[in-house]
Amino acid sequence: MKLLFSVAFISLIVQSLLASDVLEFTDANFDSRIGAHDIALVEFYAPWCGHCKRLAPEYEKAAPILKANDPPVALVKVDCTAETKVCAKYGVSGYPTLKIFKNGEMSSDYNGPREADGIVKYMRTKAGPVSKELNTVEEAEKFLANNDHSIVGFFKSASGSLATEFKKVADQLAENYRFAHSSNPDVLAKYSFEEYA
């Protein structure tokens, strides 16, 4: 009995050591599983690809760090030699191809570093809201005092369709511009907000 317990215990330890924080999605579950993550970096790969083999250990190192991030960032992989439908859907033609997904939708191509520390730093900048919410006139003035190229959206409702579309555009263009938005009545009055039909 002790031998059986020892074998089971050792097997459990080996499985936990071999467990990966990189999630593997398939054609059958990609759409349902990707939506469960606020933000995810997806590697579309081929097992025979040399660049993919070099990326794999770095991706594995970055995964537990980003999983513990606030907000968490999921690292996902899809084997394009087996999962052809999802790879075709996202236009994958070379390996590895990395894409950032937010709330289940493809947000942008990943053009960042390919080593663990660089992946972590880059994805931390993509996690959380890209557009800063301006809750006071002082915050708005401070944001606009910066000389960097900036885009500010003024909305009657922060949850309206225009505000939602603005945030999607911010996600796609965040590498080129700073984004902020406000629906605070004082900020709207300061900048002469008028609602357009």
CA–CA separation, 150 vs 132, rounded Å? Answer: 11
- Which candidate in 35, 37, 49, 118 is catalytic? 49
- Exposure string (b/e) for 160-195, b if CB count within 10 Å is 16 or more? eeebeebbeebbeebeeebbbbbbbeebbeeeebee
CA–CA separation, 159 vs 156, rounded Å? Answer: 9
- Which candidate in 37, 52, 112, 181 is catalytic? 52
DSSP 15-70: HHHH--SSEE--TTTHHHHHTT-SEEEEEEE-TT-HHHHHHHHHHHHHHHHHHTSS
Q: Is the CB of residue 101 less than 8 Å from the CB of residue 58?
A: no
CA–CA separation, 7 vs 21, rounded Å? Answer: 25
52 is catalytic: yes
Q: Is the CB of residue 118 less than 8 Å from the CB of residue 112?
A: yes
51 is catalytic: yes
CA–CA separation, 107 vs 101, rounded Å? Answer: 5
- Which candidate in 51, 91, 94, 118 is catalytic? 51
**Which residues are identified as catalytic?**
49-52
